[in-house]
């Protein structure tokens, strides 16, 4: 059954289907649809999740074994299958087989890139579609993008005029992940207020000159000199230190999660796949560098330094917040901290 993305919340409010196919090349909407299904299912008692990253070396018999097994304490499960493309011949046969005998205690979620009309005629797809729901996400442009930006800002209790939304739309050029980050930055800078066109222009202009994401990338790769240069540039341009902290803390929290999974037996790629947030290739390179270079203790120490910087920004602790941010970068580089924060 085809289910439009905007109708997914309503459908989930009524019932949870035994199968979901979520497909598309727009990663933010795809991941948010996946998260919504998972959270709704968890609220209905499906608290356990088994993740299968079905790449070229994946053993598809694992999915059939999971269908026939029971969780340790008998709780309902989510079988989360991530496909980098269409299933191969063996995978297609297993998915078709799965649909013929659905388990009573599990929901199957299959996520994969865009499926063409021809793909949707395949036997494996038809078998799953008849027993569940098919959600396809599409890139947004024009009025659809403007509406999406408006709803996203309202969710943060911010309002913007149509002209301001047009500025944002032109800046992100259909990249919804970038759009979500810009809206998050606006919220950090100004809070839940009406956002003027000038506020948007200033935030966008600042981002164009010195990028807080470049700061996080340099810090994670241990490029201390470059990180210091970017941090100084951000400060000189009047970028709010809270925005710089947000970019660093966001990736460090992700790093801590990856290190936790790796210390419990996951390899690096599996740890990436298990993250709630989609990890883009550019970020993946930086995070992989940090994950391979730093211990879990060092990653946690960097997160503690973020908390210290946050207290300084909020006036809850004395000190120079920019120096505290530098210490976060230095800690990720494995070098000694500055005297101001380390003392």
The percentage of residues in the chain with a pLDDT greater than 90, rounded to a whole number, is: 59
Bigger pLDDT: 152 or 339? 152
Angle of CA points 36, 203, 240, to nearest 5°? 95
Domains and CATH numbers, the chain: 5-136 (3.40.50.300), 142-209 (1.10.8.60), 213-342 (1.20.272.10)
Query: Please, which residues bridge with residue 216 across strands?
Result: none
Predicted local distance difference test score (pLDDT) of residue 343 = 36
Distance CA(93)–CA(105), nearest Å, equals 22
DSSP annotation string for 58-81: --THHHHHHHH---TT---EEEEE
Distance CA(29)–CA(328), nearest Å, equals 31
Predicted local distance difference test score (pLDDT) of residue 99 = 94
Of the candidates 253, 17, 39, 237, the one whose C-alpha atom is nearest the C-alpha of residue 134 is: 17
Q: List pLDDT tens digits, range 78-134.
A: 999 999 889 999 999 999 999 999 998 899 999 999 999 999 999 999 999 999 999
Distance CA(232)–CA(229), nearest Å, equals 5
Predicted local distance difference test score (pLDDT) of residue 229 = 87
Q: List pLDDT tens digits, range 172-221.
A: 877 888 889 889 989 988 999 999 999 998 887 655 455 788 899 999 99
Distance CA(299)–CA(296), nearest Å, equals 5
**Strands across the sheet with 133-136, in order?**
48-53, 77-82, 106-112, 19-23, 133-136
Contact 109, 140 (CB under 8 A): no
Q: Per-residue confidence at 55, pLDDT binned at 50, 70, 90?
A: confident
Q: List pLDDT tens digits, range 259-303.
A: 998 988 888 888 887 776 666 666 788 899 999 999 999 999 999
Task: Quote the strand ranges of 220-278, DSSP E.
Answer: none
Predicted local distance difference test score (pLDDT) of residue 313 = 92
Query: Please, which residues bridge with residue 20 across strands?
Result: 109, 133
- 189 SS3 class: helix
The pLDDT of residue 230 is above 70: yes
Q: Per-residue confidence at 71, pLDDT binned at 50, 70, 90?
A: low
- Average pLDDT of the chain? 88
Predicted local distance difference test score (pLDDT) of residue 203 = 81
The pLDDT of residue 72 is above 90: no
Predicted local distance difference test score (pLDDT) of residue 266 = 85
The percentage of residues in the chain with a pLDDT greater than 70, rounded to a whole number, is: 92
Mean pLDDT (whole number) for 323-330: 94
Predicted local distance difference test score (pLDDT) of residue 276 = 65
Phi, psi of 48 (to 5 degrees): -95, 145
Q: Per-residue confidence at 334, pLDDT binned at 50, 70, 90?
A: confident
Q: Per-residue confidence at 320, pLDDT binned at 50, 70, 90?
A: very high
Distance CA(217)–CA(290), nearest Å, equals 10
Of the candidates 19, 32, 123, the one whose C-alpha atom is nearest the C-alpha of residue 63 is: 19
Mean pLDDT (whole number) for 312-337: 88
The pLDDT of residue 324 is above 70: yes
Of 19-23, 128-132, 147-151, 233-237, the least confident:
233-237
How many Cβ atoms from other residues are within 10 Å of residue 177's Cβ?
A: 16
Predicted local distance difference test score (pLDDT) of residue 170 = 84
Mean pLDDT (whole number) for 134-160: 93
Annotate 36-51 with b (16+ C-beta within 10 A) or e (fewer).
bbbebbeeeebebeee
Distance CA(252)–CA(248), nearest Å, equals 6
Distance CA(108)–CA(95), nearest Å, equals 10
Residue 10 φ/ψ region, left for φ over 0, alpha for ψ in the -120 to 50 degree band, beta for the rest: alpha
């Amino acid at each position: 059954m085809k289910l439009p993305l905007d109708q997914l919340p309503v459908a989930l409010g009524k019932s949870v289907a035994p199968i979901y196919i979520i497909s598309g090349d727009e990663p933010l909407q795809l991941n948010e649809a996946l998260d919504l299904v998972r959270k709704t299912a968890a609220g209905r008692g499906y608290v356990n999740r088994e993740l299968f990253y079905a790449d070229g070396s994946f053993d598809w018999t694992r999915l059939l074994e999971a269908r026939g097994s029971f969780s340790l304490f008998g709780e309902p499960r989510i079988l989360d299958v991530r496909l980098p493309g269409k299933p191969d011949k063996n995978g297609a046969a297993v998915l078709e087989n799965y649909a013929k005998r659905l388990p009573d205690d599990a929901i199957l979620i299959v996520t994969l890139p865009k499926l063409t009309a021809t793909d949707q005629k395949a036997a494996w797809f038809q078998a799953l579609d008849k027993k569940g729901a098919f959600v396809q996400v599409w890139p947004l442009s024009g009025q659809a993008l403007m509406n999406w930006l408006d709803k996203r800002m309202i969710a943060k209790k911010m309002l913007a005029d149509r002209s301001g939304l047009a500025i944002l739309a032109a800046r992100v050029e259909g990249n919804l992940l970038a759009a979500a980050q810009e809206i998050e930055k606006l919220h950090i800078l100004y809070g839940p207020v009406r956002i003027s066109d000038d506020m948007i222009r200033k935030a966008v202009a600042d981002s164009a000159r010195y990028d807080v994401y470049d700061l996080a990338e340099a810090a994670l790769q241990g490029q201390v000199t470059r990180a210091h240069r970017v941090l100084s540039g951000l400060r000189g341009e009047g970028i709010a230190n809270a925005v710089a902290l947000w970019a660093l803390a966001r990736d460090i929290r992700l790093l801590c999660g990856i290190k936790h999974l790796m210390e419990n037996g996951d390899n690096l790629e599996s740890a990436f796949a298990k993250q709630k947030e989609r990890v883009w290739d550019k970020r993946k390179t930086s995070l992989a560098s940090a994950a391979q270079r730093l211990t879990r203790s060092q990653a946690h120490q960097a997160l503690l330094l973020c908390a210290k910087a946050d207290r300084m920004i909020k006036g809850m602790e004395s000190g120079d917040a920019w120096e505290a941010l530098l210490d976060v970068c230095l800690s990720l580089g494995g070098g000694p901290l500055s005297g101001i924060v380390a003392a």
